[in-house]
Each structure stands twice: as C-alpha cells, then as structure tokens.
Amino acid sequence: MTISSPCSVDVVLPCLDEALALPWVLGRIPPGWRAIVVDNGSRDGSAELARSLGATVVAEPRRGFGAACHAGLSTATAELVCFLDCDGSLDPAQLPRVVGPVADGTADLVLGRRRPVTAGAWPAHARFANAVLARRLRARTGAPLHDLGPMRAARRERLLALGLGDRRSGYPLEMVLAASAAGMRITETPVDYLPRAGRSKVTGTVRGTRQAVRDMRAVLAAPAPTLLVIAKAPVPGRVKTRLTPPWTPQQAAVLAQAALTDTLETLTTVPAGRRLLVLDGEPGAWLPPGWQVVPQACGGLDERLAAAFAQAARLAPTAPALLVGMDTPQLTAPMLAEPLAAVRRAGVDAWYGPATDGGFWALGLARPTAQLARRLLLGVPMSSADTGATLLGRLAEAGLTVAHLPALTDVDTARDAREVASAVPHGRFAACLHALDRTPEVAG
C-alpha cells in the first residue's frame, strides 16, 4: 500500500521501559511515517533513546495504557493514525496491512489479528482471556473480530469524535465498542506476533491480565446512550419564524434544514445505542441513515420534552438518554461523546448544556424514567431567560449530580445565525447563510 504524503500517517507507540526494543521498533516504521513515542514514566532512558532515534516523544505522567494511547492520539496531526505496542512483539513493517483498508475507504477501523510465530509468543492465560472477550465483543457488535490486538489504524478525526474516556487497560476495547456504536466499519487482518523484548507490564503476567479483564468488563457493562433530537420539519412559515425578516419564510426554512442536517450528521458520529429524531412533521431527504423517527407528543414544549424522555426510557430502560434541539449546528461530536463515555458517567445523574440566552440546548438523564422526566420538565417556562435557571433548580431539588456541558448559542435571530456561522465557517449552515447573504433582496 502506498500513502501519498510523507506525514499522512502517525504511529502512536505507548512506552514504559522499552529501551531494549526501541531501536528495532523505530527502525522498522515505514519510511515517511511519523513515530510518536508516549513515555509513560520510563526509568530506563526510553524517552531519550527514542528522541535520539528521530521519534516525536510525548510525556504522559498518568500511568495507564489508555492514558498513553490517548496522549498520542491527541498529539497526532496526520489524517491516519496507527497504534502499536513498543515492545517488539509486533512488526511495524506490517503496519501497511492495517492502514490499507482505512486509506482506501473499505474500512474505518482495522485491527491486526495476532498470529504467533513461536509457541511462547502469546502466554496461554492472555490468549484465553483475549478469546473470551473477543467472543463477547462479536456478540455485542457483530464485528468479525477474533482478537483485541494493539496494532490498529483509523482516521484521526473519527477516533477523536468517539470521546474515549478509559485511561487504563479498557481503552482498546472501548475504542472498538465506541466505533461500532458510531457506525464505523470494523475489520481485522492477520499480523505476526513475536516474543516481546524485556519484561511484560500487562497481559504478559497473570496479574496484569486479571487487571485488564476487570477494566474491560467495566467497559462492556456500560450500555451505549440513547441520543434524541427534537425538531420541527423545515417547512416555510413553521420554523425559525424569528429569522423573518431579514430572510423570507422560505429562506428561514432553508437555514433550519441546514442546522438540522448539521446536527444530525454530527450526532451520527457520536457512539449511541439508539438515535431518535422526535419530529413535528414529516422527514425528508435531509434525514441521514441510522435515525429512528418518532412523532412529537401533543402539548407544550415541556410536555413534548418529557414525552421524548419517556419514549427513550421505554426503548432502552437501562441506557442514559441525552436530548438536544435542532438550533446548535456548531455542536461537535466530542462535546457529547466525551462526557457520555462509560468511565466518565460514574457519579453523574444528569447532563446540562446551557444556552447563552438563558435556556438550554441539551439535557441528559443517566437513568431516565417517564416519572422523572415529568417531574423535572412539566411547568418549566420555555423560551424565556429563566428557563435554564428553573430547570437547574429542578435538577437540584431532585438531588441529581449534574455534569455541565459547554454553553452554546441557539440560532433564533439573524444575529445568532451570524455568530454561529462564524464559529463553524466550514459547515453546511455557514455555507447556506453565506449563500443567502449573496441574495440581493436580503439585508443583514
């Protein structure tokens, strides 16, 4: 496989006392690819050695395989990112095998399926634990995986959108589960598995394997969240009426459709068990795949929001549910994926996203029920400067621990629209607004 540009692939190498293996590992990185060695507290000079051999070295003081991997991912700038153990058990010269399907667009996440080249390369206890977890993973995701190996590749932006939160041994499993829940195509390809150089810190020991299994079981136990978007179909005269003037009802509907489409496409990349569009009206060609459309209930907005949570609770009673509106096209996947990651949910009962106008753009419940939703939402004055404060008061009265999301601006007025478009100038919403601004009869 040929990669077009010299720095189009970054290789993340978590490292803890791997000076013995580093020269061989770094010497076999494909030409033009960048090695990012993440030093996780080495005492054997690994960091200095890696730097002298031309690698980019990042220090990650928090101990943990996931912490090192994520520090490398955060440092990476290439379009394609690989992960590889730094102990010499996997041959970096075989990385093109896992990168190839991602580069040519036939897969989104590729794992190397380890094939031992000697009898002692893969300890029996680690191989057995891997087989058990892989079987559970196939049942959970449907992905044709037989190994949770550390050699893997994906596009950087897709991985960042997953909001991976585990910083211990559960990170590799969380990556696969989150990728599946985000609709990524996952596959594997065979790679050689060699005896590692030096002493194993994790799965090469019985104690390390037990810890890895505990971490991974915790990740497996967390259900993927239900994501909800409450929206009106973008019909002229029924949506974004405060945008008229300066725009016509038809133009306001075009802007509403752009905002809704941006929101749905962003949330399509967030790991979720279900995605529900709670819609007033009929869906159109703007609806992306993977969304279930359910009609809005009757009544005021407070009643419709409560009914949406009740619907989510019926469909997935053990899963968290988080609802957003159609008015924040500047929303990014990590804004929701990171706080909803399994390990970051501990101790959180609700998520709250404040809007700059005093309302809220997001509300999530860790254990949604129809009764709780009605208790929190019924009677809250909507579309007022006191909406958010009243809801926060209800959450406090219910004794819920709330995780706060970033404040965002709802697109209600022309001024809001321009502010949001400037924040995300490359989105569909911004392109639509700029096109309308070029229309002679529209005045800013």
269 and 408 share one domain: yes
> 309: exposed, middle or buried (C-beta count within 10 Å: 0-12, 13-18, 19+)?
buried
Sign, CA torsion 25/26/27/33: positive
CATH number at residue 231: 3.90.550.10
Q: Is residue 4 part of a domain?
A: no
Would you call 417 helix, strand, or coil by DSSP?
Answer: helix
Please say if the pLDDT value at position 233 is more than 70: yes
Residue ending a domain, among 188, 221, 254, is 221
Taking only the tens place, the pLDDT of each residue in 81-92 is: 999 999 999 999
213 and 232 share one domain: no
146 and 97 share one domain: yes
Q: What is the pLDDT of residue 133?
A: 85
> One-letter amino acid identity for 303?
E
Q: How far from 333 is each of 140, 160, 175, 182, 279, CA to CA, in Å?
A: 23, 8, 15, 10, 21
* Percentage of residues of the chain with pLDDT beyond 90: 82
Q: What is the pLDDT of residue 443?
A: 43
pLDDT, mean of residues 280-302: 96
Q: What is the pLDDT of residue 263?
A: 97
200 and 247 share one domain: no
Q: What is the pLDDT of residue 226?
A: 98
pLDDT, mean of residues 56-67: 96
- Whether the Cβ atoms of residue 75 and residue 142 lie closer than 8 Å to each other: no
Give the strand order in the sheet containing 402-404.
292-295, 274-280, 226-232, 321-325, 360-365, 350-354, 402-404
Number of residues written out for the chain? 444
Q: Is residue 365 part of a domain?
A: yes
Q: Is residue 444 part of a domain?
A: no
Q: Is residue 305 part of a domain?
A: yes
Please say if the pLDDT value at position 444 is more than 50: no
Tokens 């006191």 correspond to what residue? Answer: 386
Q: Is residue 190 part of a domain?
A: yes
Among 190-199, 239-248, 261-270, 423-432, which stretch is predicted with the lowest mean pLDDT?
Answer: 190-199
214 and 355 share one domain: no
Please say if the pLDDT value at position 247 is more than 90: yes
Give the number of other CB atoms < 10 A from CB of residue 203. 25
CB-based contacts of 246, cutoff 8 Å, min separation 6 = 414, 442, 443, 444
Q: Is residue 1 part of a domain?
A: no
Tokens encoding 259? 């905002």
Extract the runs of DSSP E, i.e. beta strands, from 338-429: 350-354, 360-365, 402-404
248 and 150 share one domain: no
Q: Is residue 237 part of a domain?
A: yes
Tokens encoding 48? 């200095």
Q: What is the pLDDT of residue 121?
A: 74
DSSP labels for 39-75?
Answer: ESS-SSSHHHHHHHTT-EEEE--S-SHHHHHHHHHHH
Provide the domain limits for residue 324: 226-437
Q: What is the pLDDT of residue 207?
A: 60
- Give the single-character DSSP code of 89: S
CB-based contacts of 105, cutoff 8 Å, min separation 6 = none
Taking only the tens place, the pLDDT of each residue in 114-163 is: 999 987 778 787 888 888 888 888 988 999 999 999 999 999 999 999 99
Taking only the tens place, the pLDDT of each residue in 107-119 is: 999 999 999 998 7
232 and 213 share one domain: no
106 and 207 share one domain: yes
Q: Is residue 442 part of a domain?
A: no
pLDDT, mean of residues 180-202: 85
40 and 128 share one domain: yes
Q: What is the pLDDT of residue 215?
A: 65
The band of 441, judged by pLDDT with boundaries at 50, 70 and 90, is: low
Q: What is the pLDDT of residue 228?
A: 98
Taking only the tens place, the pLDDT of each residue in 377-396 is: 999 999 899 999 999 999 99
CB-based contacts of 260, cutoff 8 Å, min separation 6 = 229, 231, 234, 286, 326
Q: How many domains does the chain have?
A: 2
195 and 292 share one domain: no
Find residue 8's DSSP bridge partners.
Answer: none
Residue ending a domain, among 178, 197, 221, is 221
Q: What is the mean pLDDT of the chain?
A: 92
Residue ending a domain, among 221, 247, 281, is 221
239 and 208 share one domain: no
Taking only the tens place, the pLDDT of each residue in 334-358 is: 999 999 999 899 899 999 999 999 9
Among 24-38, 132-146, 180-194, 211-225, which stretch is predicted with the lowest mean pLDDT?
Answer: 211-225
* Percentage of residues of the chain with pLDDT beyond 70: 93
Please say if the pLDDT value at position 204 is more than 70: no
Among 22-31, 33-42, 51-60, 338-347, which stretch is predicted with the lowest mean pLDDT?
Answer: 338-347
343 and 392 share one domain: yes
